[in-house]
Chain A
Amino acid sequence: MIEVKKISKNYGRKKILDDVSFTANKGEVTCLIGINGVGKTTTLKAIMGLTPYKGEILIDDQKMTKDSYEKITFIPDAPTMLPQMTIKQAMVFMSDFYTSWNPERANQLMGFFKLKEENRISELSKGNTAKLNLMLGLSLDVDYVLMDEPFSGIDMFSREQIADVFASHLIEDRGVIITTHEIGDIEHLIDKVILLDNGSVLKEFNTEEMREEEGKSVVDVMREVYQS
Chain B
Amino acid sequence: MNVNPREPVYLQVVRHFKEQIAIGNFVAGQEIPSRRELAASLNINPNTAQKAYKEMEEQGLIHTERNFPSQITTNETILQAVRQELILAAVDTFVDAIRPINVPVDELLRVVKEKYSEEIREEEEK
Chain A residues within 8 Å of B, Cβ to Cβ? 27-29, 163-164, 166-169, 171-172, 187-191, 208, 211-212, 215-220
- Tell me if B8 counts as interface (CB < 8 A to partner A): yes
Is B45 positioned at the interface, with any CB of A under 8 Å from its CB? yes
User: How near does chain B come to A204, taking the closest CB pair, in angstroms?
Assistant: 17
Task: Identify which of B10, B44, B46, B51 gathers the most chain A CB atoms within 10 Å of its CB.
Answer: B46
Interface size of B by Cβ–Cβ distance < 8 Å? Answer: 19
B47 interface contact, C-beta 8 A: yes
User: Which residue of chain A has its CB nearest to the CB of B45?
Assistant: A189
Shortest distance in angstroms between B25's beta carbon and chain A's nearest beta carbon? 21
Residues of B within 8 A of A169 (CB): 36, 40, 46
Question: Which residue of the partner chain, among A164, A172, A215, contacts B36 with CB atoms under 8 Å?
Answer: A172
Q: Does B5 lie at the interface of the complex (its beta carbon under 8 Å from any beta carbon of A)?
A: yes
Chain A positions within 8 Å of B11 at CB level = 212
**Pair A211/B6 contact, Cβ less than 8 Å:** yes
- Residues in chain B within 8 A of chain A (CB atoms): 3, 5-11, 36, 39-40, 42-48, 51
> Cβ of B47 and Cβ of A27 under 8 Å apart?
yes
B45 touches A211 (CB 8 A): no
- Chain A residues with Cβ below 8 Å from B48 are 188, 208
Whether B9 lies near A211 (C-beta < 8 A) is yes
Inter-chain contact A167/B47, CB cutoff 8 Å:
no
Partner of A217, one of B5, B10, B42: B5
Task: Knowing A211-B7, A215-B6, A217-B5, say if A188 contacts B45 (CB, 8 Å).
Answer: yes
Nearest CB of chain A from residue B85's CB, rounded to whole Å: 19
Distance of A29 from chain B, by nearest CB (Å)? 7
Pick from A167, A217, A218: contact of B45, CB below 8 A: A167
Q: Is the CB of A191 within 8 A of B3?
A: no
A203 to nearest B CB, angstroms?
17
